[in-house]
Chains A and B, each alone.
Chain A
Amino acid sequence: MPADQSSDFSYLAVVVFTFVGIAFIAFNLLLARLLSPSAPTPEKLTTYECGVQPIGDAWRQFNPRYYLFALLFVVFDVEAVFLYPWAVAFRQVGAFAVAEMLIFVGLLIAGLIFAWRREALQWE
Chain B
Amino acid sequence: MSMQRLHPRSASQAREILIGVVIAALILAALSATPLLPWHLLDPIRAYFYERPLLNNLAKAVLLVSFMAVQCLFLIWMERKFAGWLQARLGPMHVGWKGVLQTFADAIKLLLKEDIIPALADKPMFRLAPYLVFVPAMLTLMVLPFSPNLVGFDYHLGALFALSISTTGALGILAAGWGANNKYSVLGGMRAVAQLLSYEIPMILIVLCVVTLKNTMSLTQIVERQAGLWNIVAHPLLMIPGALIFFSCALAEVYRAPFDLPEAESELVSGFHTEYSGMRFAIFYIAEFANNVFTAGFAAILFFGGWHGPVLPPIAWFTLKTLLLIFLMMWVRWTLPRLRIDQMMSFCWKLLVPASLILFCLTALSVVW
Chain A contact residues, CB within 8 Å of chain B? 1, 3-6, 9-10, 12-14, 16-22, 24-25, 28-29, 31-33, 35-40, 42, 44-50, 54, 57-59, 62-63, 65-66, 69-70, 72-73, 76-77, 80, 83-84, 87-88, 90-91, 94-95, 98, 101-102, 105, 108-109, 112, 116, 121-124
Contacts and interface: CB of A to CB of B under 8 A. Distances in A.
Contact of A58 (B160, B167, B183): B183
B354 interface: yes
Interface of B: 46, 50, 53-54, 56-58, 60-62, 64-65, 110-121, 130-131, 134-135, 138-139, 142, 149, 152-156, 159-160, 163, 167, 178, 180-186, 190, 193-194, 197-198, 200-201, 204-205, 208, 211-212, 215-217, 220, 269, 274-275, 278-280, 282-283, 341-342, 345-346, 349-350, 353-354, 357, 360-361, 364-365, 367-368
Contact of A42 (B50, B119, B198, B345): B119
A74 to B, nearest CB: 9
Contact of A50 (B121, B217, B269): B269
A23 B62 CA distance: 10
Contacts, number: 220
A58 B186 contact: yes
Given A45-B118, A57-B120, A123-B341, A84 B160 contact: yes
B279 A4 contact: no
13 contacts: A13-B60, A13-B142, A20-B58, A20-B62, A25-B134, A45-B118, A48-B182, A57-B181, A66-B193, A77-B167, A90-B212, A102-B361, A112-B357
Given A69-B194, A76-B353, A123 B62 contact: no
Given A22-B131, A35-B111, A84-B160, A45 B152 contact: no
Would you call the interface of chain B mostly helix, strand, loop, or mixed? helix
Given A3-B154, A76-B201, A109-B354, A31 B53 contact: no
Interface of A is mostly: helix
A87 to B, nearest CB: 4
Which of B113, B193, B201 is packed against the most chain A CB atoms within 10 Å? Answer: B201
Contacts of A58: 180-183, 185-186
Given A32-B113, A45-B116, 4 more contacts: A28-B282, A42-B119, A70-B193, A112-B354
Contacts of B354: 109, 112
Nearest 7 pairs of A and B residues by beta carbon: A20-B61, A32-B279, A123-B342, A13-B153, A16-B57, A45-B119, A73-B197
